[in-house]
Structure 1
């Protein structure tokens, strides 16, 4: 069951409640600023919140809170809204906000919203619906918060970060291509918007990226300069500065090296343990289903961030059909099976391909030696 389906079932969300949610948004809109003012007053009464809420940012945070609640009440509950809610939970993890404080914030906001029913009893059905969706948002944020915590202590913690970096890289390459088509001018508005969206996706990771040499604030500044350049000379200088701020750090970025190395080591450990050592210790015969399941599990667990599709074929595929092809020989069945891997569009793709190819070759040889020994 998908995360969204599970949330809908647990909280008994009605597929057809969007009109009432929008109506609830209209009903509560006149009170939104008052609620936010009181909300931050109450939060800042507690010392532990002062470290996370700089006073100068309060107006911005109030606006973001209002926008967030408006999204909850005005958008369909689908993958897009789930991702928007999840992103807030991930951001809270990266600023190291204790989840107890996050829950307290939701409790306080719900309390302040429900208090409106004393002034306007007719609002109660709408207020209950708003609080229901706040509870849903709290549950999603908590889930994603602890998922990030688990990822940080696993060799796969960089998956989301790595894919977001590659979205930025792709968005930049599209922008650059559109500028070249215009003879070195500005990117078109749609491409620029996608580029800024990809920068926003990386906000939760801006600290670690800055340490690795990719400064999101600098990139955004150069992009803004490019869009507002008044002459071809200014445009050219801004484009060069933007390229320097992206391409070199991406090429040097430790994210690729870290992910490739940790994924490779994890795959080697898993392969040695599952494909070879356990089977020898148990003196078990290795059949095709066993091997295919183990190889798929190992590669998707360790390189899932880079692999788009993995399959086993009885017939050898054409040269252009897959990025990596390895033939696996099964002695008992006297059969050859072809392991075919297609990669995602990731940065430094050639190095990732070489790493996975080497692992697949090692698996093939491990399997061959095991068959020979058995």
Structure 2
């Protein structure tokens, strides 16, 4: 008979608690008449964890590549069940109470997350920084960046269908694997549910594998890098608008606000801000193409048409036009300087022309380089 549920546990020297977790998982399967299996994804244990798992008739999968994500990927890939439950083997999650997850999976949900804040966290089970800073902040950013409604992004006990997992195409190897799963499911518009779950104190006598600052940074880095809108697009819009509006006001002459006078020096900074914003915009485009071409982000419906709208030839023409305008403005500024017999320039209008000329030249160079790299990334098209 086909296996309905595979319970996958990553394992790295979990001899103290592994037997308890396996017994709870097997007891759940037996009590609810569920055809299932327990898969231990061993990541190089040296404390006899493999022997414990074998003695309890769990299936041991040896995963050579180090890392939490690597272990889980190896174990999930080897799982034979239609559905998969994953959870840590430190006895902090209750493997005897997985029915709320399974019910949601049977209803057709692709991913079912546990929420420890709704189910209950035993005193001392979660460090203060994790409970009140790390988890809430990272979960908020995940909801903001990816329009997800998940309240606990990092709950280790979660269930999903094997079919949905294969569509996620997860790639990370470390603790950020937990975030990648939710991000991928959200971006692919999968059906996600959340159920309350409990968190108990770690049953091990040794410190946990999780490193607060290192792994917290890995989660944050992953969320930011997988959200080019927040990393590049939105800052670029802000910088370009502020830089362009300020520059437009100052090109015609100084602007006085109370006792303050904003002149060419401010114009220099505002054009620099505009250039930085434009650079952010170009990086947004390059990042978007790279992530889509490498199947890190889903492909939008109008993706292929972008290569017809933006191509190398059009980019080169636009860049050359900007360079020509900058060159003409430079010649104009040169003639003004020549009229002064190449002496000291005290005329701020000449400085304005020079600033605009340099800005336009730099824009032209950026557009040309972007077009070349954009075309390289899209060679498949």
Alignment TM-score, normalising by the size of structure 2: 0.30
More strand per residue: 1 or 2? 2
**Greater relative contact order structure (CA < 8 Å, 6+ sep):** 2
